[in-house]
Amino acid sequence: MARKVDRLTLDNLAHLPGGCSACTFWEFDPVRRGQIRGHEAEEKAAWVSSMLRDWGSVGRVISVDDRVVGHLLWAPALHLPGGDGFATAPVSTDAVLVSCGYIDPGHRGQGLARVLIQSMAKDLIRHGGVGAVEAFGAHRRLPGPLAGPCTLPVDFLLAVGFRTHRAHARHPRMRMDLRTTLTWREEFEAAAEKLLGGLKRPVPRLAPQPLPHGAEASDATAPPRSVRRL
């Protein structure tokens, strides 16, 4: 099973599973969403294009055996006005907002979500100026309608490193400091070094060889003389 993580682009946007390629809940406010009804896919593509041009990468897609099976999208909260309607808004000034994510049901439980989270964190660290990532979680076990169709379950966010930043009965705002993802890498490197260290074999020390009869120790350790070329 070959896994591959790619940046979100206009070429792979249409292949996002879960209907996200035509969902504009996060990218536009309710009034604008009403105005573009029936043209959501085109408007979503235009939003992705403008973000790639003016801000940088806003998503990752993960493929298994060349088929897209999951994705994760994010952006500065200013460019995701759909988040303004949550009771726990606004997003912290040092954070970007994770808008939506999805893993195909047939590929869940394989660590793909954590791969996407780590890829996002590395991208944001390289981007600079971002201290954390936040998301509006959803307690899906509670009865009643959710604020949005694309909110991520609180249990999932907790499992991949988020913590509750502002509590709420239905939609708490969750936060993950980018420093947390660095500790993942440090822990992995430490574990790998420990494992590899245990596998290292001591270099055998050669026993000193007896010197030829009549030779002195200085002769044995002296560098060889250069050979005169004829």
Return the ∠ at Cα 72 (arms to 81 and 178), rounded to 5°. Answer: 85
The mean pLDDT of 144-149, rounded to a whole number, is 49
Q: Is the Cβ–Cβ distance between 137 and 154 less than 8 Å?
A: yes
Tell me phi and psi for residue 102, to 5 degrees.
-160, 140
Residue whose token pair is 């460019």: 79
Residue range 162-197, pLDDT digits in tens: 999 999 999 999 999 987 665 555 444 444 444 444
Q: What is the 3-state secondary structure (H, E, C) of 58-96?
A: CEEEEEECCEEEEEEEEECHHHCHHHHHCCCCCCCCCEE
Return the ∠ at Cα 132 (arms to 128 and 138), rounded to 5°. Answer: 140
The mean pLDDT of 20-40, rounded to a whole number, is 95
Full-model pTM: 0.76
Q: Measuring CA to CA, which residue among 58, 80, 79, 78 is closest to residue 13?
A: 58
The structural domains of the chain, with segments of one domain joined by +, span: 3-184
Cα–Cα distance for residue pair 37/161, rounded to 1 Å: 36
Between the CA of residue 85 and those of 22, 25, 193, what are the distances in Å? 20, 11, 47
Half-sphere exposure of 163 (CA within 13 A, CB side): 7
Query: pLDDT category, 150, cuts 50, 70, 90?
Result: confident
CATH number among 3.90.105.10, 3.20.20.140, 3.40.630.30, 3.30.465.10, domain 3-184: 3.40.630.30
The reported pLDDT for the residue numbered 200 is 41
The reported pLDDT for the residue numbered 199 is 40
Give the CA radius of gyration of the chain.
27
For 13, residues 6+ apart whose C-beta sits below 8 A from its C-beta are: 21, 44, 45, 48
Q: Is the Cβ–Cβ distance between 175 and 132 less than 8 Å?
A: yes
Whether 10 shows a pLDDT value over 50: the answer reads yes
